[in-house]
Amino acid sequence: MPVVLMPATLIRAVSMCVVLVVAAATGLAIAAAPTQDMPAVVHKPSVDVHSGPDFATPRVATLNRNAPVRISGQQGLWFRVNLPEGKPGYLRVTDVRMAYAGKASSSANSMAIFNGRAAGGKVTETASVRGIDESDLKSASFNGAELAKMESYRVSPEAAAASARAKGWSSSNVAYAAEARPVANGGKPQATQSEKRSGLSLARGLLSQIGIGSVGNSAIDVADKTVPKSEQELVAEELALAPELAGRILGAAPLVRDDGAQRRVNEIGRWMASHSARPELPWTFGIVDDGEVNAFAAPGGYVLITRGLYQLLSDDAEVAAVLGHEISHVVQRDHYEVIRKQEISSAGKDIALSHVSVGGGIAGSMAKDYVARHGAAVMLTSLDRGAEYRSDEASGFYLARSGFNPLALYAVLQKMTSLGTQSASLAQLYKTHPPLDERLERLDRNGYTGLQQYTSR
């Protein structure tokens, strides 16, 4: 029989019918193809548009502040732009400011432009996963199997360094004055909080024996409530909390089933953490199957980012930038301090935090008790804005120390902005973080002080 060729238009029509039938049968929604560019305006007094993503390429135009452009793609730390007269060109990610999009369709546009280039894995969207909220983290059960899976991806500092060498990342010595550092004790064991309180109890007894009344006891009571923990106690509590909180997060959203992507975030994250003030923590990273753009940094070094955030990242530097922000929260003990304050403010609960057996059971009991009562809801507690700004700043320093360009976080924040203030994918992030334009303004204002030499990488 002769082969009859169908016209291309008929083939397309038949194909569309098949797609619509399949969609109707499976309940899938068919969205219109998104416009492949996003609005932005020039953010500096004057910027040069280059013909390629390199300062050495010819200048094709010069634009002044507030000039409109359309962003159609990204290459490293450059945005590909369409100029008003239709000419293409490239601008640095810090030259423009993405417009806050107000329509739901803008989220699809942004993901079409920036999505799917993180490499190192094939993370794809599964059935719609509602974003993790505070009630989910409070009620979710501990998922030991997922936690064990997450921990199986953990890499050693040596393995991370070997991976970094293979990729050409080299360390730089970059001072960062605002970085918290563990209290040095010269190798001598510090007195624990309970030991200090025992001393106060003895002092109270001596005061009674020599006839000093309630004034002395009141002073000791005040001192008793403000006795600090030793560094060993703080670390013991963090290490006990880390798997408990991570296990609850994984109870709300399991790991993405992509070994390559999970190994990748652990290699990059461990390399970045090795350049922090707390490289000795058991740093462990994972990607959870949640479509929102968010991340969680549990005390003790367990960091989880969502599938929605991972899909927005274009390269290793952007992955490192996001992880650097979360690493800073752990280094600074930001969420641990929230937990500590919650416990102290709870009647009688400060006792549970008072008697910590370093390296052993009581710290673990405290962690289990806290998580049993609160789940992992603390991971969606709003931190002080200063803590978020500091973590943005710290990410730049960790990037510079680890061989990346510190502007990578700026690019990530720009792309988050393009998703829009009404985007469901940013709902939880907007509840717990300062507005994205304020974070970008803060980075602009600080001018990457001390990091300028690394912004040309």
- What confidence tens digit (pLDDT) does each residue in 45-99 have? 999 999 999 999 999 999 999 999 999 999 999 999 988 777 899 999 999 998 8
- Flag the least confident range among 185-194, 372-381, 402-411: 185-194
Residue 339 and residue 277 share a domain:
yes
Residue 126 resides in a domain: no
- Placement of tokens 């530097």 in the chain: 317
- Give the Cα-Cα-Cα angle 267, 269, 270 (nearest 5 degrees): 65
Strand partners, 285: 303
Residue 214 and residue 93 share a domain:
no
Residue 449 and residue 389 share a domain:
yes
> Average per-residue pLDDT in the chain?
79
Query: What SS3 class is residue 121?
Result: coil
Q: Please state, as a whole number, how many other Cβ atoms lie within 10 Å of the Cβ of residue 400.
A: 26
Residue 3 resides in a domain: no
Instruction: Choose one of 225, 243, 276: the last residue of a domain.
Output: 225
Write down the pLDDT at residue 428.
63
Query: Which of residues 10 and 383 earns the better pLDDT score?
Result: 383
Write down the pLDDT at residue 212.
56
Strand partners, 284: 302
Write down the pLDDT at residue 47.
98
Calculate mean pLDDT across residues 127-141: 71
Q: How confident is the model at residue 137 (pLDDT cuts 50, 70, 90)?
A: confident
Write down the pLDDT at residue 313.
97
Query: Which of residues 195 and 134 earns the better pLDDT score?
Result: 134
Residue 129 resides in a domain: no
Indicate if the pLDDT at residue 381 is higher than 50.
Answer: yes
Domain that holds residue 218: 193-225
Query: Which of residues 14 and 418 earns the better pLDDT score?
Result: 418
Write down the pLDDT at residue 290.
92
Write down the pLDDT at residue 266.
99
Residue 342 and residue 289 share a domain:
yes
Q: Give the tokens for residue 275.
A: 């350049």
Residues in contact with 26: Cβ distance below 8 Å, sequence separation at least 6, in sequence order: none
Residue 107 resides in a domain: no
H helices of 2-66, where?
Answer: 8-26
Residue 417 and residue 289 share a domain:
yes
Residue 22 resides in a domain: no
Distance (Å, whole) CA 127 – CA 294: 18
Give the torsion through C-alpha atoms of 108, 114, 118, 121, to 10 deg: 30
Residue 220 and residue 152 share a domain:
no
Q: In whole angstroms, how far apart are CA 455 and each of 93, 94, 196, 436?
A: 12, 11, 48, 21
Query: Which of residues 116 and 303 earns the better pLDDT score?
Result: 303
Write down the pLDDT at residue 162.
98
- Give the Cα-Cα-Cα angle 45, 48, 50 (nearest 5 degrees): 155
Residue 413 and residue 274 share a domain:
yes
Residue 320 and residue 201 share a domain:
no
Strand partners, 48: 62
DSSP string, 275-330: TSS-TTS--EEEEES--SS-EEEETTTEEEEEHHHHHH--SHHHHHHHHHHHHHHH
Nearest-CA neighbor of 444 among 13, 45, 30, 61? Answer: 45
Dump pLDDT digits (tens) for 182-239. Answer: 776 555 555 555 544 454 455 455 555 555 555 445 544 544 445 567 899 889 999 9
Evaluate the CA torsion angle 339, 342, 344, 349 in order and state its sign: negative
Among left, alpha and beta (phi > 0; psi -120 to 50; other), residue 121 is: left
- Is 303:283 a contact under the CB 8 Å cutoff? yes
Residue 332 resides in a domain: yes
Query: Which of residues 197 and 254 earns the better pLDDT score?
Result: 254
The domain tally of the chain equals 3
What b/e sequence results for 275-310 when a residue is b if at least 16 CB atoms lie within 10 Å of its CB, and e otherwise?
Answer: bbbbeebebbbbbbbbbbbbbbbbbbbbbbbbbbbb
**Straight-line distance from the first to the last Cα atom of the chain, in angstroms, rounded to the nearest whole number:** 63
Say if strands 46-50 and 59-64 run parallel, antiparallel, or are unpaired: antiparallel
pTM of the model: 0.79
Residue 330 and residue 414 share a domain:
yes
Calculate mean pLDDT across residues 117-142: 63
Write down the pLDDT at residue 83.
84
Write down the pLDDT at residue 338.
83
Residue 381 and residue 445 share a domain:
yes
Write down the pLDDT at residue 226.
52
- Flag the least confident range among 118-127, 176-185, 415-424: 118-127
